[in-house]
Every structure is written in structure tokens, then in C-alpha cells.
Structure 1
Amino acid sequence: MGGWGLSDMPSQQGRRVVITGANSGLGEQMAIALGAAGAQVTLACRNVAKAQRVADWIGPHARVAELDLADLASVRAFADGFDGADVLINNAGVMAIPQARTADGFEMQIGTNFLGHFALTGLVLDRIDDRIVTLSSLMHKRARLDVDDLNWQQRKYSRWVAYSDSKLADLVFALDLADRLAKAGSAKASLAAHPGYAATELQGHTETPFEWVMKLGNLTPIAQSAADGALPALFAATSPHAANGEYYGPRSFGEMRGAPAPASYRRAADDPDLRRRLWDKAEELTGVQVTVG
């Protein structure tokens, strides 16, 4: 895999890719790169006006579709109008925000980052031909995931733990989906990726003093650009060497920057009991029964 970069991306001519949250940051960079490689890219976003500016810059290879992952009605509406794609990239997310609720009453971070993507994937899985790539984070290693209290109704809310929980849930889902696809004999693949420490707008909404620490960190040599942070997900989405059930991230400085490589993750993500309980709880909360086959 070496120093894989955009010049190593195979032609995406004729392929269709859906990217959630592609109006800024990592998703925007993924959309730009995939459009330049010839893919027809759908920017599935809540802020359609902002997404349209990105699509206009990419050109005729890009289009915008409205999708608010914090509202299951919006997820279902998007799925109802979905006409298929080769790749779905579950990228959109919020990070370490003050306590809030989605339209369906879920804690905002678990609701947007995980449950929204779980529902979306389940509703369109039969129309994805090749791969599902789900974004996790280095912060998944700090999670204290409580399947019985995903929505923070019993615990005292901690914005950073809630974020970490959502990213561990994303990783567990991606790996579990990969196993279920393999057992079903499906040719589809589920992969996960993380961007390392990438300078994006995501870090500007925590409303805490630590936000300024992160903004200063964005100016250090450790932080990489959003374009570089997008590379692990782009590798997972396009490389013929990216395998079902693998997790990719930057290879250097404790996985904070560098070219894509296999990433490390908490053993909890392989726990079959956690996987089963999380999947069942997500189906219960979202009302989406995920059929793998």
C-alpha cells in the first residue's frame, strides 16, 4: 500500500458514489476527489445550499440530495427516492456538542453519527452494489458505550464521551455488517476508516475551552489537511486492495497523519455480544430492520 495518494486512485468513470455530509470538511474533499476521478457523486446533506456550492465547483459529475441524519423521516424520504449507487460513504457527523436531541428524541451525537447512518444503510443496502464505508475516529478508543443508555437518559451527559460512543458504535456497525455480508455470501463489502487528526470545521462547535486547543492544534505539524484526512476513506471506497471488514487510518504519528494503512481499534469492536446487542438496539430505536443478503 505504501504511500497511497490520489494519483493511485483508480478511474471512477461510470461509478456512482453517495457521500453524507459532503458540504464541507472531509466529505467535501472526498466529493471533489471522486468527481475529478470520474465518479457521479451525490452530496447527501442537510444544508443543501452549502452543498450546492460544492457541487457547482465540482461540475456535472455532482448533484445534491437533501438528507438530515438527525431526522428519520428525512432518512426515509431520501431512501424512498434513492436509485442506487456503487458506494455509500457514511461520513456526516457532529462532535462534542452541547446536549441536544434529534427530531426522534435521540441524543444528537449517537442519533446523527450512528443511528442515522444505521437507518440509512439498512434502507438502501439492497441498492448498493459494491461498498459501504463508515467513518469512525481515534476517539472511539475513549468510549464508554452503554447499549442500554445510548441516548443518555440515565447517565450524566458528557459531550466527549457521547462523541466517542458514537464513533465506537459506527466502527462496531461497520465490522459487524462486514461479517454478516460475508456469511451471507454477498459480494458487497463494509469497511471503516478514520481521518487521524485532520483540520476541519467539525472541531469548531464544541463550545468548550478545548475547542481553542484543537484550533491551535490544527496549526501544528501534527494536524493534516482535510484533503489528506479524507485519504483513508477514499482508499477504502476505491482501492482494489481494500478488503471487507478492514479499518483504515493514517499510518504515522500514532495514526494522526500520513498515508492510509490498516488502523488499530479497541477489542470491544470484535465482541460478538456487543455487536448483537448494538445491532438489535439500533433496529429497535430506528424501526429499520436491516436485511443482509
Structure 2
Amino acid sequence: MTSAADAPATSASGARAGTARFAVVGAWNAADIPDQTGRHFVVTGANSGLGRATALALGRAGATVTLACRDVLKAQPVAREIGTRASVRRLDLADLASVREFAAVAGDIDVLINNAGVMAPPLRRTRDGFELQFGTNHLGHFALTGLLLDRIADRVVVLSSLAHQFGSIDLVDPDYERRRYERWSAYAQSKLADLMFSFELARRLDAAGSTVRAVAAHPGYAATALQTRNTSILNPIMELGNRLLAQSADDGARPSLYAAVSPDARSGGFYGPKALFGMRGAPGPSGSSRAARNTDVAAKLWTLSEDLTGVRFRI
């Protein structure tokens, strides 16, 4: 996605095929996914990296999977690998018109997995004028979820990051129109916004008596092109980290899969790897920053997001 995981230079799930140096040891993995026959999943940014690994694992479990990607050609090989239960639909999260077009014909969905994103590019803006990371990682998925929510039967999964711990939400200038742009702070803000959105959605669904769950996840440190295609001077260091410390994209997808299919994944929960300070290993409950649990800011962020996207949630 230009603003999503299949973006040529800033892909959120643009994957590396390499495997981590250290084997991942843990209890829950893709082999534990229950039979998903007859269930429909939408995975954003499913053409590569974490999204690809997520879509393939669901396909192997019998699910029907819609690969929602900006570049449909790049997604076609993944769909072919899954087989006849997979389809590809264009979705550019950096363009609200594209989000609305996708949602208009999406049909009924069991699980929406908001996987796609961008990380630490130079200052760029979406088609609607938002800072690219805030506009793609948060606002695009916020709008998509709101437009689809009345057709989602089971749950919404939102992919955050350990980087949320370093973020803060600037409700006055989230798009860096007046303050100095700093790519990593902008990334952390977007991932904090993702987590706060998931928590707030869970609270609102619960208050409405809905059975739909909102569940957040993070991949820990997974080797994808996300770390090395952001035109940053840190690219060589991150490339080395991918080789020495990171787990594979398949293992990095385990928390998202757990959040999406496990009966034990609770609404309002946050799941990630449990080993090496949350960077790798089997999924389990993850801690979050104090800022992520600020309900007052979360409510204000929700209102701001509705105003910016023009999407009102019917809960």
C-alpha cells in the first residue's frame, strides 16, 4: 500500500524471507489455529511480510481470505498459494475514497485484521492531506473499521507495536503541520493511536452490549522490509538487527493470529511475544504504556478521528 504494507518503500508488512538466527520456542503457534472453514477474514497489507504470513496461515486453516492491498498484482501470488478461497481487492489506506470503495462491496466478514502500515518515511502526506503514518496506520484503519463494523460478526484485530511506548498523541497537530517533523516520533504516535483505538473500540462495544471483540496485537521484532525500506540512515543497523535478533515474519504473525482466532483472546486485550522483552517468542498478554490507557485522550482521539475521516461509528 502506498500507505500500507505493500508500499514499495515503506511497506508495513513487506516481508523478508529470511529466518531468525534463534529458534522461536513457545506454546501457541499456527498449528493451533482451530478449523476456520466457512469463516471470512479480511487482512490489510496481505501481499507480503506479516500480512502474507497471516493470510497464508488462515488459508491453511480453511478460512476464506480477502487480501486487501494497494498493489493487487503483488498480492496475486499469495492468493494463488492459498487457492480458490482467496481473493484480492484493492485498498489504499492513504486514500479515504479507496477505503470507502472497498467497504462498499466488502460483504459480510467474521474477522477484520488491520495489519498494514508504514514506518518512519520522510515527511509525506496521504491523498487527503494527513501525515502519512498517522493517516495510514491509524486513520485509514479507523475509517475502514467504522465502515465495516455492522458487517463484522466476530472481532476486529488492530496491529500496534512496541514503539507505542515512546509515543504521545498531539490532538492539536497530529499531522505535523506546525511542529517539526520527526519520523520516529510520528511512527510511535501512529502506533499509540492504533492501540488506543482498539482499547476505546472495545470499551464502546462492551458498553453497547455487542458480542464483537476488539483485540490488539504487536509482532515484537519481526524481520520484514518495514525496518529497511524507510530511507533512513539507520537502515544498515536495522538490517543487522533483522539478521541477528529478529524472528521470522511467520513467527511475528503469531500474535495477530492468536488475537484473530483464539477463543481466549479477550476484547480489550493486547497480545505480543513473551520472550526477550516482548521482541520474540510465543504470544501472550502484553503490557502497554500509561498513555495507551488514558481514556480521556482516547475519547478525544476518537472524536478527532471521526471528524478527520468523516466516518461515524454506529455502535
**Same-fold call, TM cutoff 0.5:** yes
Count the aligned residue pairs.
290
Unaligned 5+ segments in structure 2 are 1-25
In structure 2, distance between residues paired with 1:219 and 1:270? 34
1:229 is displaced (CA, Å) by: 0.2
In structure 1, distance between residues paired with 2:112 and 2:274? 24
Aligned residue runs from structure 1 range 170-185, under 5 A: 170-185=194-209
In structure 2, distance between residues paired with 1:189 and 1:81? 23
Unaligned 5+ segments in structure 1 are none
Report the equivalent of 2:124.
100
Give 2:145's match in structure 1, choosing from 95, 105, 121.
121
Report the equivalent of 1:276.
299
Give 1:27's match in structure 2, choosing from 51, 57, 62.
51
Q: Which amino acid aligns with 1:240?
A: P
Kept in 2, the 8 Å contact 1:76–1:120? The answer is: yes
Give 2:70's match in structure 1, choosing from 12, 26, 46.
46
Report the equivalent of 2:187.
163
1:262 is displaced (CA, Å) by: 0.3
In structure 2, distance between residues paired with 1:269 and 1:223? 25
Q: 1:29 aligns to what SS in structure 2?
A: helix
Aligned residue runs from structure 1 range 239-250, under 5 A: 239-250=262-273
1:268 is displaced (CA, Å) by: 1.3
Report the equivalent of 2:29.
5
1:269 is displaced (CA, Å) by: 1.5
Q: Percent identity?
A: 57
Report the equivalent of 1:205.
229
Ranges of 4+ aligned residues in structure 1 off by more than 4 Å = none
Report the equivalent of 1:56.
80
Report the equivalent of 2:16.
none
Structure 1 length-normalised TM: 0.98
In structure 1, distance between residues paired with 2:228 and 2:133? 15
1:204 is displaced (CA, Å) by: 2.2
Q: Which has the higher contact order (CA 8 A, sep 6+)?
A: 2
Give 1:76's match in structure 2, choosing from 100, 121, 124.
100
Structure 2 length-normalised TM: 0.91
In structure 1, distance between residues paired with 2:191 and 2:170? 13
Q: 2:172 aligns to what SS in structure 1?
A: helix
Kept in 2, the 8 Å contact 1:48–1:64? The answer is: yes
1:167 is displaced (CA, Å) by: 0.2
Q: 2:180 aligns to what SS in structure 1?
A: coil
In structure 2, distance between residues paired with 1:291 and 1:130? 16
Q: Which has the higher helix share?
A: 1
Pairwise CA RMSD of aligned residues?
0.8
Kept in 1, the 8 Å contact 2:59–2:65? The answer is: yes
Report the equivalent of 2:172.
148
Report the equivalent of 1:226.
249
